[in-house]
Each structure stands twice: as structure tokens, then as C-alpha cells.
Amino acid sequence: MSTATQSRGDLFVRAFATLAILGPILLVMIAGVLPEGLGRSQLILFGDGGIVAALAAALVLRAGFQQGFQIGSRKPELFRDRLSA
């Protein structure tokens, strides 16, 4: 069996999967104790949006980390010229 990561103990993959699975479950459990109405619907809607935003941000940061942040460090003199102008 092969995995997409280099090591099976990769903390990022475990944390990402935990948030993706348990986040919506806990959100529905919390919303289940609220009375029916607009507040309950908004909690579920914005809560799911927050979970998706957190997962997307985690993926973007992980991709940047994998690239070694090389985009900004390749030619720093270009950034210095723009700042001094």
C-alpha cells in the first residue's frame, strides 16, 4: 500500500483529516441543542464556511511550505527595488 505522504506519521495529514471529519460532526451536535430558527441555520452555515476556509488556508500554507517559500527568496533584489521606488 502506498500513501501520498512521505511518512505515515505526518502530523499535518492527521490534523487536516481530523478537522475535516470532526468539525462538521461537532458543529451539528452543537446546533442540535439550539432551538429551531434563523440562529441555528446561521451557525451551521457560517460554521461550515469557517471549516472550509480553515482547510483551504491549511492547504495553501502547506503548499507554500512544501515549495520552501522559494518565490520570495529567489531574487530579493527585485523586491528591494520596488520598495525604494
Q: What is the residue extent of each domain of the chain?
A: 11-84
> Average pLDDT of 57-65?
82
Packing angle of the helix pair 38-67, 11-32 (nearest 10 deg): 180
Residue 23 has pLDDT above 60, yes or no: yes
pLDDT more than 90, % of the chain: 13
Residues 36-53 have a mean pLDDT of 89
| Among candidate residues 50, 66, 58, 54, the one with its CA nearest the CA of residue 4 | 66
pLDDT value at 1 more than 70: no
Name the residue type at position 14. R
Does the global pTM surpass 0.85? no
Measured CA angle at 67 (ends 84, 13), to 5 deg: 135
